[in-house]
Every structure is written in C-alpha cells, then in structure tokens.
Amino acid sequence: MTSDDNIHHLHAGDKEILLVGTAHVSRQSAEQVTQVIEAEQPDTVCVELCRPRFEAVRNREHWRQMDILKVVRDKKAFMLLANLLLAAFQKKIAEKFGIAPGQDMISAIETAEKIGAKIHLADREIRATLARAWRSMGLWGKSKLLFQLVGSLAGADEISEEEIEKLKQEDMLHMVLAELEASHPMLRKIIIDERDQYLAHSIYNAPGKKIVAVVGAGHVAGIKRYWNTAIDIQALETVPPPGISGKVIKWGIPALIIAVFVLGFALGGRDTGMHLLGLWILANSTLAGLGALAAWGHPLTILAAAVSAPITSVNPAIGAGWVAGLVEALVRRPTVGDLEDLSSDITSFGGFWRNRVTRVLLVVVLVNLGSTLGTFGALPLMARLFH
C-alpha cells in the first residue's frame, strides 16, 4: 500500500478509494500519479475532467473545431475569453518547467489505459461550472475577473518551481480568483465548493472495488468533507435562470434612459431633448469605439461599435460588443492558421491581440465594457440638464 501526504484513503461500502491530490502543472505530481496507479492496479481511475476537457486532452487539435461566429451569436465571448486566459496561465507555467498542462491528468489516463483500468470522468462539465459562475456576476464583475486573469498571466513568469509545489494546497482557479472572493463570494461556492460536492458524489459512485481518484489538491479537503453526504447532483448541473434583480437592471436601465429622453423633450422642448440625445450618442459611441480600437479592431468594426452602441444600450436583447464582434469576425474571418496557433498565441499578450480568434473575443468584451461605461457616464451628465 502506498503511503504519502498527498494520498488519502476513503471507503464507500466495500470499495477502497485512494484519493491523490495533485498540482496540475507539477512534474512531481504527474510522476506520483503514474507510480500510484501502477503500484495499486485499481479497477477504475477517476480523473478531475469532464467530457469536453477529456476530449481536449486527447485531441490537441480541438481548437480547429471552434466556430467563432457561433460563440459571438450565443453570447459566450466573455466566458470563452476567461477560459482561454486561465488555460494560458496554466500552459505558461507548465511550459516553464517543461511539462504539458494538466500532465497529472494525462499521466492518469495513459497509465489507466496501460494497466487496463476503466477511466471515470468525475468532474462537472466545464460549461455548467462557467455558466453558473457567469450567471452570478454582472458586467463589472466579469470585467474584474478578466483583468484578474490577465494579471495572473502577466505574473506567470515570476513563479518559481517551489511556488508551483504550493499549488498542491489549493485549486489553481481558486488561487487566480482569490482577490475576487471578497466582492464575489459566489465564485468560491460555484467553482470550488460545488465541484467538491460533485467530485465527492462522482468518485463515491464510480464503478469498481478499488479506485484511484486523481484530483487537484485544493479539492481534497472538500471531497472528504462531503464524503458519505447526500448530494443533489441534478441541482449542481442546472444553470439557474436570471434572478429578479438581474431582470430589473436589464430592463430598468433602458426604461430609465427612455424616460429621461421623454421628459427632456416634454419639459425642456426640442433643444433640451436634442442636447440629451447628443450627450447620449457622444458618450456611448466614443467609449464603445475606443473599446474596439483598444482591441485592434478593423476600422469597420470601430465604426460598427460607435454606430450601434447608442442603439443597443436601450435594447437589452443585444449588446454593441456582439454587433462589433460579428463585424470583426466577418471582415477578418479567422483562418485555419489562427485556430492552429491559438494554443501558443494565448500565452502572450501580443498573441491575444494578433490572433484573429482572440481578437474577436477582445472586441466583444472591450466594446461591451466601453458601451456600459458610456451609459453610466452619460446618465449623470444628462440629469444635470434638468437643473
């Protein structure tokens, strides 16, 4: 029997489970995973992966299958950009120490196949996790998340191998989001605590008498906490509908803006109304256009952002960023080369702006942010005209 501080022994009826806590970018963790599986010869190996992430690990060319137009149309640009930034952070650290990102999971899969063990995908699907996290945040929270991930990517070169080993004490995503926890406590609940529950339930119910489960070390304590606990797995897989407050904000702000215009024309006459309209267009168009410019958008993209922002800001169903993103994707359509280079381009700031796929995502995010700032900046200026 293997004995190590990173290995925890659990039981589920007559099943024996060895829970191995790893750092996803640690050479030592990857080597230990192989050693444990070979020594224990389990019936099943559980890995902290869902089906899409498993396919991504097995198929390094999965980026070629991306439809960027569909991503923009489905309003998933924010989510995909955050996911790419996290992947870039992990990839950059892993490459620094000469290992593949997620080598611990790769080693677990390859060793399981070598000894003929079943592979059990134990994690919640990444789309459900990100969708639940995304639903808990507004535009400003999403923007802070992206800036935090960008900052983490910038600091990846300064991390030593000793600090990498400290990742065995926490989930990588938790480490990146630590500064956001105070303002967004739901992030920890969704990304860490809920997945602890999901992993505990999935590993507990995995097939086989002897099981080795390979998870990020940050999940070990939570899995042990929820072990033998009744868990509503369906609730953890469901993306909740928008809350009442979100709907009020979504529809209330456009209603407020329209009311301001109506009052301006009714109480102040045509001159006041036109002045209000001019302020509104100037603020929205300028900041949305600057967002497109900051993303190195095509001139037509910048124009589309500037023209659409004053209109989309009073239409909750569509954002200026989505309009500009579609224009950018159409006038500078990503090539096969962009998709092939995506995994390497995301490891540098220049690559993010150079690659046509990530540039589309940046256009969506920065134009939406600019339009939002324009909206909240214009309202107080417009209100002053009533004094």
pLDDT tens, residue by residue, 170-179: 555 555 555 5
* Residue 48 clears pLDDT 60, i.e. is over it: yes
pLDDT of residue 247: 63
Structure-block tokens of residue 71? 């991503």
* Residue 335 clears pLDDT 50, i.e. is over it: yes
* Residue 345 clears pLDDT 60, i.e. is over it: yes
Q: What is the mean pLDDT of residues 270-295?
A: 89
Give the integer Cα–Cα distance in Å for 66 and 61: 10
pLDDT of residue 257: 81
* Residue 1 clears pLDDT 50, i.e. is over it: no
Helix axes 244-294, 299-312, angle to 10 degrees: 150
Query: Which of the four pLDDT bands, split at 50, 70 and 90, describes residue 71?
Result: confident
- CA of residue 224 relative to chain centroid, distance: 26
Strands 7-12 and 210-216: unpaired
For residues 139 and 305, the model is more confident at 305
Structure-block tokens of residue 278? 């001019």
Q: What is the mean pLDDT of residues 216-232?
A: 91
Cβ contact 102:210 at 8 Å: no
Bridge partners, residue 11, by sequence: 16
Query: Which of the four pLDDT bands, split at 50, 70 and 90, describes residue 145?
Result: low
pLDDT of residue 274: 86
- Least confident span in 29-33, 76-80, 195-199, 359-363: 76-80
* Residue 325 clears pLDDT 70, i.e. is over it: yes
Report the first-to-last Cα separation within the chain, whole angstroms. 79
Query: Is the entire prediction scored with pTM above 0.75?
Result: no
Give the integer Cα–Cα distance in Å for 167 and 218: 8
Those residues with Cβ within 8 angstroms of residue 65's Cβ, 6 or more apart along the chain or in another chain? none
pLDDT of residue 41: 96
pLDDT of residue 147: 66
* Tokens 């963790």, located at residue: 29
- Least confident span in 83-97, 245-259, 343-357: 83-97
* Residue 101 clears pLDDT 60, i.e. is over it: yes
Model confidence over 208-221: pLDDT tens digits? Answer: 999 999 998 888 99
* Tokens 């309003």, located at residue: 75
- DSSP state, residue 355: S
Amino acid at 140: W
Query: Which of the four pLDDT bands, split at 50, 70 and 90, describes residue 333?
Result: confident
* Residue 21 clears pLDDT 50, i.e. is over it: yes
**7 φ, ψ to 5°?**
-115, 130
Model confidence over 106-137: pLDDT tens digits? Answer: 899 999 999 999 999 999 988 788 778 777 76
Q: What is the mean pLDDT of residues 231-236?
A: 90
pLDDT of residue 3: 43
Q: What is the mean pLDDT of the chain?
A: 80
- Least confident span in 74-78, 153-157, 250-254, 304-308: 153-157
* Residue 61 clears pLDDT 70, i.e. is over it: no
pLDDT of residue 142: 66
